Amino acid sequence: FPAWSSFSTAETLAAQEMNGLNAQTDIYLTSFFAGHPAINFLTQGEKQYTRLDTTARFPLPLPPDKVVVMIFNTETRDMLDDIRRLYPNAAIDEIGPPFGGPPVLFVAHLTPTDIANIEGLMGAYYPTDDWSGPPALVRQDATLRFDWRSQAPLAMPFSVEWEGVLHVETYGEHRFFVQAPAYMELYIGEE
């Protein structure tokens, strides 16, 4: 195994994976693979990819209408663990030597459905104004842009608790705007 893995094996296998993908697939390579001469040679420079730095934080802003393939080296297992946690239905391949042994790279295949399942915030809608009792409705809200004057999800008064992650790309002050048909309160992180 040590001799086999010493000759750009992981890079060769990564390039083979890339060559098997169609042009509509978005490819992400960890910085270990990005720009590697073996990958550039074997893909003939024709495969476009996005470099995935080892400091990247998940979830990433991914295209909702495309298949995404991420190729990880074995030293980035923590990133792969994030993918497994965020996208539990994603197909993940462990690529190893043909004669058995530990994997030398991991390939995560994310479908548009996998990506859409974590977009937005999970909303729990309560038929009371104080979040008491069980929620009457639980749903994934892709965006928080509603006009409840004509079609509220529940009869007034009701309360909603959204949970999720807000991906903020720029540092600084950010504002939230709410226009409501009745009294309302907005809490972010218990504040």
Judge if 85 and 133 occupy the same domain: no
Say whether 61 sits in a helix, a strand or coil.
coil
pLDDT tens digits for range 94-144:
998 888 888 999 999 999 999 988 888 899 999 998 899 999 999 989 888
Mention every residue, 6+ apart, whose C-beta is less than 8 A from residue 44: none
Q: pLDDT tens digit string along 31-83?
A: 999 999 999 999 997 889 999 998 888 888 888 899 999 999 999 999 999 99
> Both 130 and 162 in a single domain?
yes
- 88 residue type, one letter: P
Residues 14 and 106 in one domain: yes
pTM: 0.73
Number of domains in the chain: 2
Report which of 8, 10, 32, 7 is spatially closest to residue 96, judged by C-alpha positions.
Answer: 10
C-alpha to C-alpha distance for 140 and 107, rounded to whole angstroms:
27
